[in-house]
Structure 1
Amino acid sequence: MLALAIEARGLCKTYRGWFRSTGHEALVDLDLAIASGAAFGLIGPNGAGKTTFIKALLGVLRPTRGLVRVLGQSPDDPATRARIGYLPERLHLPASFTPLRFLEGVARLKGLSDISHEARHALTRVGLAGDASRRIGGFSKGMRQRLGLAAALLGKPLLLILDEPTDGVDPMGRVEIRTILAEERARGATLFLNSHLLSETERICDRIGILAGGRLVREGPLEALSGSDTRHRLRFAPGSDPEALRAAGLTPTPDPDVFLADTPDPLTLNTLLDRARATGALLVELRPDLRDLEQVLTDALTPPPSSRRSP
C-alpha cells in the first residue's frame, strides 16, 4: 500500500453564524486519500470549500469533526509543517525587501544551514536571479508569484500546497513553472494544486477532485474523469463518404470529417478501422475522445434532468 501524503476521513467544518444559528457548512463528510508522489488538483466553484480544506491541511483551522492527516501526521505537528511548502493565493510580500533578503529570512525560519546558497539557488530556479537586489515593491504580479514559489521550494519539502501558482504569470512563465513542478515531483514531492486555471491543472495534475458545496462530488484519475476508455475520435481526410462511414459502424459528429467509435477492445477498434478504410476513407487522426476539464466540471455541477424543477 502506498504511503499517503494527504488523508481526510469524514472531514467536516461548520462556521457558526451569529447568535448560535446553524451557520455554514464549508466541508461536509469529505473523504480523500492522496498518495505520496502524486500530482492532485482540487477544483470547484467559488465558495466550494477549497480554501477551508487547505487551511485544515495547514493546521490553520480545526475541523468541526473528522480526521485529517498530512504526511502521516497531524497538521498541528511542527515537524510536519516544516516539510510542507505553501504558496498562498493572496501573497503578501514585504515591499521594502529584496528577493534575496526575503528568501534568506524564510530559509532561516525553516532552519536551513546554507541560507545564502539556498536562497540564491531558489531565485535561479524561478528565473529571478537577475532581480535579486531589486526591491519587491517594484515587482509585477507574475514576479511576485515566482518569488512566492521560490519560498515554497526552500528546504525541498515533501508536500507542495500551491494555491493559484500560475496566476498572473505570462505563458512562457507558466511553462517554466510547470517544468519546476515536474522536477519537484521527480524528486519525490507530492503536488496539491488549487487553481481556477483549469488548463494549467490539466497539464500538471494526473488526479482531480471536484468540490461543490463542501462535498467531494467527483475524484479520480484525469483520464477516467475526462472520457471513456472505449470511445475514440477519428478524423478522416476531406472527401470521405459520410453515409458509408456511418454504415461501417461509426457515429457522426457536427464536424463532417470527424466520427466517433465505441469499441470494447483494440481488436474491435481495428476491425472498425478496416471497415472504414474499405469505404475509401483516409484516416488522418485517431485519439481517445476526452472532454476538457471545464466540461468535466460543468457536468459534475449540473444536476440530472430528473432532479430539476419543472417550470
Structure 2
Amino acid sequence: MSGDTSTDASGPAVICQRLAKTYRAALSRGGVTALRGLDLAVPSGQTFGLLGPNGAGKTTLVKLLLGIAFPTSGMASVLGRPAGDVRSRERIGYLPESHRYPPHLTGEQVLHHFGRLSGLRRPGRARRVDELLRRVNLGEWRSVRVHKYSKGMLQRLGMAQAILNEPDLLILDEPTDGVDPIGRREIRDLLLEQKARGATIFLNSHLLSEVERICDRVAILKEGALLRDGGVADLTRPRSAWQVEMRAGRPDAVAGAMARVPGARAVDGRVEIEGDVAAVNALIDALRGQGVEITAVLPRRDSLEDVFVKVLGEGETP
C-alpha cells in the first residue's frame, strides 16, 4: 500500500465528531445546512454503507472526508489524520458517482494516467494495469477509446482506477450504478477481495439489497442528521413475528385457518403472525386442521429496505 501505513489498524478508519456544514446561499440569510453535528465512526477493515434520500448530506460528507470541502464546525479524521491531509489522501481510492474520463483515451491509458498520479513507477504500473483490466473484464477493450464504453464498462473501469494503488480506504459513490446483474456480482466480488486484504470500504448506494449483502454496518441520514447507525445484522435481526410457508393450492383452507387465529395475515403467499411461540403453534394447528401442508416456519426478519423506510418515516425533520 502506498504512503504512511503507521496508523493503528485497530482504530476507526473514519471518525466524525460534531461535524457540521452550512453552505452560504445568496437568497438565504442562514444558508443551507447540509450536515448537523454528525458523530460517526467507521471501524477499520469493515464495509460501511451510508444511506439516505437525495439531499440527506451523503455527498457533502464524502467531500469533507476527502478535503474537497471544509466543515463549518466539528472535526473529521481519516486513517488517523485530519480529513484532507495529504498523507491520508495518498491511501484513499475514490470513485465518484458521475465520473468522466477524457474521451480520446483508451481504458489502458486512463489507468496509466491515474497510476502516474498515484506515484506508481512504470514497470510495476504496467503489470498492475494489465492485472486490473483483466480483473474487471476489460482486457479485450484495453485499446478502445472510452467514449465507446457502455455505462457499465465505465463503472468497472472506475473501480479498477479506485483500487489501482491498493488503498487502505475505498470511498465509492454508487459503484454499481448502471451495471447489469452480472456486473454487480463482479463488483461485489471485487469489493469482498479488497476487504479480505484489509481495506476499509465506505459505500454510498441506493441499491439497498446490495448494501445488505456486503456491508457490515450502515448509517442512515436525513436532512443532514444521523437517524440510525449500527450493524446490518443487528438492524435486521429477527423480531417477534413468524412466517409460515405452505404448499400452494388450498386458498380456502388457508383462509379458514386464518379466521380462527387472531392476528394472522396473508403476505405474498405466506401467512404471518406476530407473537410468541404459542401464537405460531396455534396458527400451525389451525392450518393443519384445515388440511394445509406446511413446508416451513421461519422467524420474520426485516430487510434493510424495511428498516430504511421505517427509520425515515419515524425520523423527525431537524
How does the TM-score come out when normalised to structure 1?
0.86
In structure 2, distance between residues paired with 1:188 and 1:182:
10
In structure 1, distance between residues paired with 2:96 and 2:125:
23
- Residues 20, 303 of structure 1: alpha-carbon distance in 2 compared, 3 angstrom cutoff: closer
In structure 1, distance between residues paired with 2:267 and 2:144:
54
Query: What is the identity percentage for the equivalent residue pairs of Structure 1 and Structure 2?
Result: 43
> Contact 1:48 / 1:214 at 8 angstroms: preserved in 2?
yes
Unaligned segments of structure 2, at least 5 residues: 1-8
> Contact 2:19 / 2:35 at 8 angstroms: preserved in 1?
yes
In structure 1, distance between residues paired with 2:54 and 2:116:
35
Matched residue, 1:65: 73
Instruction: Indicate yes or no: 2:306 matched with 1:260.
Output: no
1:94 is aligned, of 81, 86, 102, to 102
In structure 1, distance between residues paired with 2:244 and 2:296:
6
The amino acid that maps onto 2:37 is D
Matched residue, 2:306: 295
TM-fit CA distance, 1:224: 3.0
In structure 1, distance between residues paired with 2:53 and 2:188:
23
After TM superposition, the structure 1 stretch with the greater mean CA deviation from structure 2, 53-62 or 281-290, is 281-290
| CA shift digits 1:161-188 (9 cap, x unpaired) | 1001011111111111111111111111
TM-fit CA distance, 1:230: 3.7
2:174 is aligned, of 164, 176, 183, to 164
> Contact 2:257 / 2:283 at 8 angstroms: preserved in 1?
no
1:41 is aligned, of 35, 43, 49, to 49
Matched residue, 1:54: 62
CA-based RMSD: 2.8
| CA shift digits 1:211-244 (9 cap, x unpaired) | 1100011121223333544433221334465665
Q: How does 1:1-311 map to 2 (within 5 A)?
A: 2-18=10-26, 21-113=29-121, 114-226=124-236, 228-238=238-248, 239=250, 251-254=264-267, 257-263=270-276, 279=289, 282-303=293-314
Q: SS in structure 2 opposite 1:13?
A: strand
Q: SS in structure 1 opposite 2:56?
A: coil
- Residues 257, 295 of structure 1: alpha-carbon distance in 2 compared, 3 angstrom cutoff: closer
Q: SS in structure 2 opposite 1:302?
A: helix
In structure 2, distance between residues paired with 1:94 and 1:105:
11
> Contact 2:258 / 2:283 at 8 angstroms: preserved in 1?
no
- Residues 21, 170 of structure 1: alpha-carbon distance in 2 compared, 3 angstrom cutoff: same
- Residues 174, 224 of structure 1: alpha-carbon distance in 2 compared, 3 angstrom cutoff: same
Q: SS in structure 2 opposite 1:85?
A: strand
The amino acid that maps onto 2:306 is Q
In structure 1, distance between residues paired with 2:131 and 2:279:
51
| CA shift digits 1:122-141 (9 cap, x unpaired) | 11111111111111121111
> Contact 1:86 / 1:152 at 8 angstroms: preserved in 2?
yes
Unaligned segments of structure 1, at least 5 residues: none
> Contact 1:248 / 1:275 at 8 angstroms: preserved in 2?
no
In structure 2, distance between residues paired with 1:203 and 1:57:
25
TM-fit CA distance, 1:202: 2.2
In structure 2, distance between residues paired with 1:272 and 1:150:
55
TM-fit CA distance, 1:257: 4.0
In structure 2, distance between residues paired with 1:99 and 1:156:
19
The amino acid that maps onto 1:286 is V
- Residues 272, 109 of structure 1: alpha-carbon distance in 2 compared, 3 angstrom cutoff: farther
After TM superposition, the structure 1 stretch with the greater mean CA deviation from structure 2, 27-36 or 289-298, is 289-298
> Contact 1:160 / 1:189 at 8 angstroms: preserved in 2?
yes
TM-fit CA distance, 1:246: 7.4
TM-fit CA distance, 1:7: 1.0
State the aligned residue count. 303
How does the TM-score come out when normalised to structure 2?
0.85
The amino acid that maps onto 2:175 is P
> Contact 1:223 / 1:290 at 8 angstroms: preserved in 2?
no
The amino acid that maps onto 1:31 is D
